[in-house]
């Protein structure tokens, strides 16, 4: 298939592109390079630098490349930032997604994968969290993804548009050649590895008074290559109908456990200090991915946190200052 990948120069998108090309698909990347990196784009992918706010630019890509399907990664993605800058999320994520979907409908593209998020489940009644959990977006970020999920529901009803919403839990890890490089970096694993590289003095643990066994937040860490695999399987299955999947490992690790694993993998003491809570962090988020396992025979190839950390560490050692630096 020919797949248009928005955000294909970003962390998760660039690794999805790598896996699509390995699977024999052809890829067009559309990315404004706001957080993405030109060097992260697989050399066999066509690259168009453009912004989803620019409807004419999207239409031009649709006309020139005639994709069979779209994977929509491009987005603002930070829960904390979305609370500080709600319009960046509630306006831009939604308007940009809407431009893309409208252009897809007008150009006859009927397969669409949305990067969605565990931030839809701010107040879960059951753990692990399956697709029947009630949706309570935890931030303008989560809300922006939920609006796009609802948008897609109507596209399916009105235009036979087939979509999958993939709700990622905590994406992490790297392939041999692509990894995580955000500016500024806010995610736990790359920050901890920056301490091990000597680029930061210590890691601040955002609160140790949560209702968890060691008091620090518990998250479900899922390897980006496994997320990429889920996208490819979902894209191939779309003719059988639209769907929603929660994507994680089904196991939770606390912030302290992540730091301890990083100490073991890197051999660095990684000093840690307890700081205040970060707004918007729920105690525990663990995914049930039984539905996608059942429907698409998906299961993580890298379920062990230690292996995920080793792969991330390997990439960070080879790219201590990320891409292009
Ligand atoms: N944390 C620290 N110190 C840090 C950074 C993070 O203690 O310096 C903690 C956070 O409080 C949280 C955990 O480490 O408990 C993981 O934090 P990340 O920032 O790495 O990831 P988040 O869980 O906040 O967010 C990620 C994605 C979101 C997505 C969410 C879904 O960035 O897009 O997972 O669970 F919505």
165: β partners:
114, 244
* Spatial separation of the C-alpha atoms in residues 46 and 20, rounded to whole Å: 13
* Spatial separation of the C-alpha atoms in residues 121 and 219, rounded to whole Å: 13
Task: Tell me if 17 CB under 6 Å of ligand 1.
Answer: no
Count of C-beta atoms within a 10 Å radius of residue 196: 20
Q: How many whole angstroms from 264 Cα to the centroid of ligand 1?
A: 21
Q: Which sequence spans correspond to the domains of the chain?
A: 2-172+222-247, 188-219+251-318
Task: Tell me if 191 CB under 6 Å of ligand 1.
Answer: yes
DSSP strands (E only) in the chain: 2-6, 26-31, 46-49, 69-72, 111-117, 162-168, 170-172, 203-206, 218-219, 221-223, 243-247, 253-254, 272-275, 284-285
Active site residues: 141
Mutate which of 206, 224, 247, 276 to test ligand 1's pocket (most atoms within 8 Å of Cβ)?
206
Return the CATH fold of 188-219+251-318.
Answer: UDP-galactose 4-epimerase; domain 1 (3.90.25)
Task: Tell me if 174 CB under 6 Å of ligand 1.
Answer: no
Mutate which of 89, 116, 145, 187 to test ligand 1's pocket (most atoms within 8 Å of Cβ)?
187
pLDDT digit string (tens) for the chain, length 325 residues: 999 999 999 999 999 999 999 999 999 999 999 999 999 999 999 999 999 999 999 999 999 999 999 999 999 999 999 999 999 999 999 999 999 999 999 999 999 999 999 999 999 999 999 999 999 999 999 999 999 999 999 999 999 999 999 999 999 999 999 999 999 999 999 999 999 999 999 999 999 999 999 999 999 999 999 999 999 999 999 999 999 999 999 999 999 999 999 999 999 999 999 999 998 899 999 999 999 999 999 999 999 999 999 999 999 999 999 997 6
Tens digit of each residue's pLDDT (9 = 90 or more) over 250-284: 999 999 999 999 999 999 999 999 999 998 899 99
Task: State the distance between the two ends of the chain, measured CA to CA, in whole angstroms.
Answer: 34
Q: Which single residue is written with the structure tokens 């630098």?
A: 49
Locate 34 and state its tokens. 């706001």
* Spatial separation of the C-alpha atoms in residues 121 and 297, rounded to whole Å: 24
Return the CATH fold of 2-172+222-247.
Answer: Rossmann fold (3.40.50)
């Amino acid at each position: 298939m020919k797949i248009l990948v928005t955000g294909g120069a970003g962390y998760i998108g660039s690794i999805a592109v790598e896996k699509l090309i390995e699977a024999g698909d052809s890829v067009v990347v559309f990315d404004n390079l706001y957080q993405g990196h030109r060097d992260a784009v697989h050399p066999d992918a066509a690259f168009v630098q453009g912004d989803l706010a620019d409807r004419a630019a999207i239409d031009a890509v649709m006309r020139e490349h005639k994709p069979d399907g779209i994977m929509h990664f491009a987005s603002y993605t930070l829960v904390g930032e979305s609370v500080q800058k709600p319009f960046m999320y509630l306006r831009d994520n939604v308007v940009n997604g809407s431009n893309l979907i409208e252009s897809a409908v007008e150009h006859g593209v009927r397969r669409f994968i949305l990067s969605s998020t565990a931030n839809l489940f701010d107040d879960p009644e059951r753990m692990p969290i399956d697709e029947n959990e009630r949706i309570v977006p935890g931030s303008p970020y989560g809300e922006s993804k939920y609006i796009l999920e609802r948008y897609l529901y109507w596209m399916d009803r009105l235009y036979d548009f087939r979509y999958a919403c993939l709700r990622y839990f905590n994406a992490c890890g790297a392939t041999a050649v692509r990894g995580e490089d955000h500016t500024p970096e806010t995610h736990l694993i790359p920050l901890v590895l920056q301490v091990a590289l000597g680029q930061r003095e210590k890691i601040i643990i955002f609160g140790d008074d949560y209702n968890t066994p060691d008091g620090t937040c518990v998250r479900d860490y899922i390897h980006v290559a496994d997320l990429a695999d889920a996208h490819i399987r979902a894209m191939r299955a779309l003719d059988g109908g639209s769907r929603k999947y929660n994507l994680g490992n089904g196991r939770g690790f606390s912030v302290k456990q992540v730091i301890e694993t990083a100490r073991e993998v890197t051999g660095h003491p990684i000093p840690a200090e307890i700081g205040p809570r970060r707004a918007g962090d729920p105690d525990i988020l663990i995914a049930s991915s039984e539905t996608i396992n059942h429907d698409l025979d998906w299961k993580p190839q890298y379920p062990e946190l230690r292996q995920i950390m080793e792969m991330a560490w390997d990439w960070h050692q080879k790219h201590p200052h990320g891409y292009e630096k």
